[in-house]
Amino acid sequence: MLKVAKFGGSSVAGADQFKKVKAIMEAEEGRKIIVVSAAGKRSGDDHKLTDLLYLCHAHITYGVSCADIIETIRKRFVEIRDELGLEYNIEAEFDKLMPRLNKSMGVDELVSRGEYLTGRLMAEYLGYEFVDAADVILFGFDGHIDREKTYSAIKEAYEKHGRILIPGFYGKLPGGKIKLMSRGGSDITGAMAAAAVQADVYENWTDVSGILMADPRIVDQPSPIEKISYAELRELAYMGASVLHEESILPVKEPGIALNIRNTNRPQDPGTMIVDNIQEDDDEQERFITGIAGRQNYSIITVIKRNMDLSGSLRKALEILDRYHAVVEHITLGLDTYAFVTATEPLGDSIYDILADLQKTVRPDELTVKEGISLVAAVGRKMTSKPGISGKLFKALGDNGVNIRTIAQGADELSIIVGVENADFEKAIRVLYEGFAG
């Protein structure tokens, strides 16, 4: 079984973590491609190399020396190398870099050295061929990754060397310049590699045993999700669950490659398996919620107008919202009313213009805005076509004194989303978790 394994910053933060990575890579013959982030934090008060490199570049921009920061970074690499008895000439790399640390050096090239050097050390440690991302992750003139060229370059390197390491997070523009992805972009590099070689599994190794069923800052020790479909993952991620870089999903979802999120510090845990079609086994627990997520600070704009032409009025109102770039999350409809749920902050003061335009155009009997709303989503493929689920959820929230301001169910019945007061946000998540997920 061919696997691409991507290790995040905390998995490669120091020599001890390198040892864990090696044990994992050696445990399965099929792990032939590895992608690494730059060394991350070793403890709470430590710094990610990527952050230090960005900081260094900011110093350069303002004409302040970043020699101290560069020295800290150099030491981190030397420490890892020496502790593992490796030979890679880190000093020579920094000797080459130092004279170039001036305003002419682009931020992308400088920051990419975090992944590059972490990758150099890891490749030597594992005995894998180092393949520079600048040679295989190829951006087009439009700044997007050219998938076709990238896939064929990765495939060629893999076929030539058999076991390869690609540093994450960067690639090359057509003119030869290095280009970074957005933060967390090594997830994308890993996904590209998995798609390029048509891997069976894309493993994403991090420091938690999979995606958690709810935010651990709100729910005490939530269980990890064992299996989740790509569609459920999308709902959870959209509603605020922090998972992978969003652009890393499509390249593996499309060809049907399974994505497995694992914990480098607990390789015995199976982690979360994300697949397209889940075969349910009957003896699985009777949980019908896969995960719970939510976001705060929405507004509900409500229009009431007796005897109105609902669809005509709604169309005009939507046009107004569109004009002010308001993203409508939900619409609720009644006979003589409709309401929109939209994020408060991006609207800013244009809410006053929206209200004025609505007043003028749809001439409502009543027009109200209610701010301070949170949306909480219960997501679960097993909710589909099962009667009584929403009733149970609403009852649990009601029994616990959570007042529901809006209700929405995805047309695919994959999620039920309730709007509650911001003050009830955490309580709603806890009630749903404790009642139906935990």
| Chain positions contacting ligand ASP, by CB under 6 A | 8-9, 37-38, 48, 50, 114, 168-169, 183-187
* Least distance in angstroms from the C-beta of 217 to ligand ASP: 21
* Least distance in angstroms from the C-beta of 87 to ligand ASP: 25
Q: Which is nearer to ligand ASP, 107 or 231 (CB)?
A: 107
Q: Which pair of structure tokens corresponds to residue 352?
A: 């006053």
* Least distance in angstroms from the C-beta of 373 to ligand ASP: 32
Q: What span, in angstroms and rounded, lies between the C-alpha atoms of 112 and 177?
A: 11
* Least distance in angstroms from the C-beta of 170 to ligand ASP: 9
Q: Which is nearer to ligand ASP, 150 or 186 (CB)?
A: 186
* Least distance in angstroms from the C-beta of 45 to ligand ASP: 17
Q: Which is nearer to ligand ASP, 48 or 234 (CB)?
A: 48
Q: Which is nearer to ligand ASP, 111 or 393 (CB)?
A: 111
Q: Which is nearer to ligand ASP, 186 or 374 (CB)?
A: 186
* Least distance in angstroms from the C-beta of 168 to ligand ASP: 5
Q: Which is nearer to ligand ASP, 36 or 321 (CB)?
A: 36
* Least distance in angstroms from the C-beta of 196 to ligand ASP: 18
Per residue, what are the HEC states of the chain? CCEEEEECHHHHCCHHHHHHHHHHHHHCCCEEEEEECCCCCCCCCCCCHHHHHHHHHHHHHCCCCCHHHHHHHHHHHHHHHHHCCCCCCHHHHHHHHHHHCCCCCCHHHHHHHHHHHHHHHHHHHHCCEECCHHHHCEECCCCCECHHHHHHHHHHHHHHHCCEEEECCEEECCCCCEEECCCCCHHHHHHHHHHHCCCCEEEEEECCCCCECCCCCCCCCCCECCEEEHHHHHHHHHCCCCCCCHHHHHHHHCCCCEEEEEECCCCCCCCEEEECCCCCCCCCCCCCCCEEEEEEEEEEEEEECCCCCHHHHHHHHHHHHHHCCCCEEEEEECCCEEEEEEEHHHHCCHHHHHHHHHHHHHCCCEEEEEEEEEEEEEECHHHCCCCCHHHHHHHHHHHCCCCEEEEEECCCCCEEEEEEEHHHHHHHHHHHHHHHHC
Q: Which is nearer to ligand ASP, 112 or 272 (CB)?
A: 112
* Least distance in angstroms from the C-beta of 39 to ligand ASP: 9
